[in-house]
């Protein structure tokens, strides 16, 4: 290989890696199904990134009745949470170790029991939504007055939080 080809190859590999990292989120935004989820929020500030609203989705607290596995089988593991629509919002339908062949689902990591003994806590990596500087307080007040609604695009178990609004 010539030096010129080596240089271009060395420059192309990192660029290709960076581009590949954007494929899944962009594909989800373009082709994903939009779902509406109930939320609970508070307003922290990140020193480097500004205001954001940390969101707790209602589907993050999965009733143990929806999980047919023991606590040892779910703790800190990736599982698939099938969603179904009930009225305006999507809720947990069932949980499985294998990817569903059909229907809407999110891949989540089960962490532990949350406050109550009859629920599991699930992390979908949808918990932060960055807002314009200074507008986080407004969303915080709205969440305390009746909650917020999160709009999420879902494709193949991967979710992208696209917006939060008052109910």
Point out which residues pair with 51 in neighbouring strands: 45
Tokens of 11: 């420059």
In the chain, which stretches have pLDDT less than 70? 1, 40-54, 71, 112-117, 127-128, 130-132, 134-137, 139-141, 143-146
Taking a C-beta distance cutoff of 8 angstroms, is the pair 76, 49 a contact? Answer: no
Taking a C-beta distance cutoff of 8 angstroms, is the pair 75, 97 a contact? Answer: no
pLDDT confidence of residue 43 = 47
pLDDT confidence of residue 37 = 78
Point out which residues pair with 120 in neighbouring strands: 62, 113
pLDDT confidence of residue 81 = 93
Task: Please provide residue 74's backbone torsions phi and psi, each rounded to the nearest 5 degrees.
Answer: -105, -25
Q: Is 15 helix (H, G, I), strand (E, B) or coil?
A: helix
Q: Which residues contact 66 (CB under 8 A, 6 or more apart)?
A: 92, 93, 94, 95
pLDDT confidence of residue 66 = 86
For the chain, the farthest-separated pair of C-alpha atoms sits apart, in whole angstroms, at 66
Q: Which residues contact 140 (CB under 8 A, 6 or more apart)?
A: 41, 42, 43, 53
Taking a C-beta distance cutoff of 8 angstroms, is the pair 78, 64 a contact? Answer: no
Q: Which residues contact 161 (CB under 8 A, 6 or more apart)?
A: 55, 126, 128, 129, 150, 151, 152
* pTM of structure: 0.72
Percent of residues, the chain, with pLDDT higher than 70: 74
């Amino acid at each position: 290989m010539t030096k010129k080809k080596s240089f271009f190859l060395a420059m192309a590999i990192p660029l290709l890696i960076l581009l590949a990292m954007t494929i899944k989120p962009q594909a989800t935004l373009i082709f994903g199904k939009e779902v509406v989820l109930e939320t609970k929020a508070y307003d922290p500030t990140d020193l480097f990134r500004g205001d954001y609203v940390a969101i707790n989705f209602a589907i993050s607290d999965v009733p143990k009745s929806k999980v047919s596995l023991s606590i040892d089988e779910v703790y800190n593991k990736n599982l698939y949470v099938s969603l179904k629509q009930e009225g305006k919002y999507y809720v947990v339908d069932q949980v499985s170790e294998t990817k569903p062949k059909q229907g809407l689902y999110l891949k989540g990591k089960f962490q532990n029991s949350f406050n109550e003994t009859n629920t599991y806590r699930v992390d979908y990596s949808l918990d932060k939504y960055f807002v314009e500087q200074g507008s986080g307080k407004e969303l915080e007040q709205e969440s305390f007055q009746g909650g917020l609604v999160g709009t999420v695009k879902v494709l193949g178990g991967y979710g992208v939080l696209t917006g939060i609004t008052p109910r």
